[in-house]
Chain A
Amino acid sequence: MKRYWGFVIKEFYHIFRDFRTLLILFGIPVAQVLIFGFVVSNEIRNIKISILDYSHDEVTEKITNKIISSGYFELYSHLTDYSQIEPAFRTGNVKEVIIFEPGFSSKLGKTGDAALRIVSDASDANTGRLITSYTQGIVMNYLQELMGQNTSVPFTIDTRTRMYFNQGMKGVYMFVPGTMAMILMLISALMTSISITREKEMGTMEVLLVSPLRPIQIILGKVSPYIVMAFINAIMILILGNFVFKLPINGSLVLLLLETILYITLALSLGIFISTVAKNQQMAMFISMLVLMLPTILLSGFIFPIENMPEILQWLSAIMPPRWFIIILKNIMIKGTGILFIWKETLILMGMTSIFIGLSVKRFKIRLE
């Protein structure tokens, strides 16, 4: 036990004496959460639009006002001719143009049929699709109000939507769990694999292996400081999410922290496994970044919905530990569910952990041959 503590103290010296390590451990997580929370967002707010109104009547005024006062859009300019649309998009100032046909209100009054055209800049496909559907929504809404006054319409279907678990459709609900899964993976796997391969490179690993320390003691000694560090990080992210982004923790905090420790252990065992494969620090870093980071971001369902992926990638995503952790996090934090709803994911994480620990132990022995 005393030997173990000596080892842990030594490991903390390594961490605290290296500015880069400290930066990776504490600077990057905070920056990531803030960046993802504030910048990367798929919410629509203050989108600049132009209006091309050939009609200029009471109804087009009303619709225009309704769109602008919605908060999603901001009036940039009034156009006077169709030919101005493309130049407006080219400058990049305007994302959407709304065109009312001549005689809009009179046509609407007489035939009940008037044309409103929505043209959007789809160079950013997601935003393009989102803002057109928002605009359509607002116009439909206006139409319903209109029909409400006009009782001559025999029946209407009143659709009312409610977004469960995330009424405000806030992006942070998605990004905080994702960032947490990503950062814990980065710190745990990357830092442990680097610190173990560093000992190999320096030749100190040999000396440790010649000493009476057992391999398991060496690994535990190296890994446990990073468990503490990663856990502190997890708490930091939760606090940031809660206070800065108002992300609730609806479920049990104890369960949440236990699942976090399980995930950290998984990431650490992955880090140990990487260090048994990698010959030096560069290679460990390369494997961690390329094999862990990118798939975590792309395939875990963190940013892109898994349901939309081709089937092969869906299968690939199933072997990404973060995918399951993100489901667990969302369940506990946002839906407030208990272990009954996430036991399957928990078991998957446990299974993955034991596989990586088993593989690492096997590889560690082979290395001694």
Chain B
Amino acid sequence: MESKENIIVVKDLVKKFGNFVANDHLSFEVKRGEIFGFLGANGAGKTTAIRILCGLSFPTSGEISVAGYDAYKEREAIKRNIGYMSQKFSLYDDLTISENIKFYAGIYGLAPKIIKSRTAELLSRMGLEDIHNRLIRDVPLGWKQKLAFSVAIFHNPSIVFLDEPTGGVDPITRRQFWELINEAAAAGITVFVTTHYMDEAEYCDRVSIMVDGKIAALDTPEQLKKIYKTKEMNGVFLTLARGAKNN
């Protein structure tokens, strides 16, 4: 892990909304190919940070580089190199599976030939060939979630940002979903994922835990458990979160 290059570098990131400090001097690095878990209670500042990294929001101050590009000056280049999936899964209900794939691939400027071949490959890998003409609203939630993820990495980004991708899904589907994440990481895509399910933190290579807009801990799950002397990530989280002002 040590030898790999940093793909995200954040130094002293501050984001204020009026007097409220949502992100208080965050500094961390994410390495290429890593699954980086970004944990925290609701309101800890996870979503604010991920939105800044994706270019959806401007930081108040700090140095940020994503995929080797500067977050202030090279936003367009960043956008071409990242994928994003929100907790809402963000597919169009009234479009079919194929149409959704085609649309999202199209806005990333992929050539029609590539879109066609990759779509066929994706549909067969997921076993969706028979229902590729079904509207998204008629597709079960678990499938929708997997599809949303596949769409988010359809253009082969170097990083994919997942904002609570497993919200509202049953444990078995969540497990299957993490298999997809592992596959993507194995294929060389860096995964930046926020979650508040502590069991999922165990699947990450490294985990950062945010409390009150600050990073309270950042290490591998094993290391964290050792430091906080507990058997599960949940214990680590509870110890840290107890100190939060907001609770």
Q: A13-B99, A212-B76 are in contact. Are A203 and B106 (CB under 8 A)?
A: no
Q: Is the CB of A207 within 8 A of B84?
A: yes
Q: Is the CB of A202 within 8 A of B79?
A: no
A368 at the interface (CB under 8 A from B): yes
A294 at the interface (CB under 8 A from B): no
* Chain B interface residues (CB < 8 Å from chain A): 54-58, 76, 79-80, 82, 84-95, 99, 102-104, 106-109, 152, 161
Q: Is the CB of B92 within 8 A of A6?
A: no
Q: How far is the CA of A9 from the CA of B92 in the complex (A)?
A: 13
A158 at the interface (CB under 8 A from B): no
Q: Is the CB of A368 within 8 A of B58?
A: yes
Complex interface: chain A residues within 8 A of B91 (CB): 204
15 contacting pairs across A/B (C-beta < 8 A): A6-B107, A7-B106, A10-B99, A13-B94, A13-B95, A13-B99, A17-B94, A202-B90, A203-B87, A203-B89, A203-B90, A206-B86, A212-B79, A368-B57, A369-B58
List the count of A-B residue pairs having beta carbons below 8 Å apart: 75
Complex interface: chain A residues within 8 A of B99 (CB): 10, 13
- CB nearest to B99 among chain A residues: A13
Q: A10-B99, A203-B86, A369-B58 are in contact. Are A208 and B107 (CB under 8 A)?
A: yes
> How many residues on the A side are at the interface (Cβ–Cβ under 8 A)?
23
Dominant secondary structure of chain A at its interface with chain B: helix
Q: Is the CB of B106 within 8 A of A6?
A: yes
Leading 9 A-B pairs by shortest Cβ distance: A203-B88, A6-B106, A210-B84, A207-B90, A203-B90, A212-B79, A17-B94, A204-B90, A10-B103
Q: Is the CB of A368 within 8 A of B92?
A: no
Q: How far is the CA of A358 from the CA of B76 in the complex (A)?
A: 23
A211 at the interface (CB under 8 A from B): yes
Q: How far is the CA of A209 from the CA of B84 in the complex (A)?
A: 10
- CB nearest to A10 among chain B residues: B103
A203-B88, A204-B92, A211-B108 are known contacts; what are 7 more A-B pairs with Cβ within 8 Å?
A3-B107, A3-B109, A202-B92, A203-B90, A210-B79, A212-B107, A212-B108
Q: How far is the CA of A202 from the CA of B89 in the complex (A)?
A: 9
A44 at the interface (CB under 8 A from B): no
Q: A206-B56, A210-B54, A368-B56 are in contact. Are A3 and B90 (CB under 8 A)?
A: no
Q: How far is the CA of A7 from the CA of B79 in the complex (A)?
A: 18
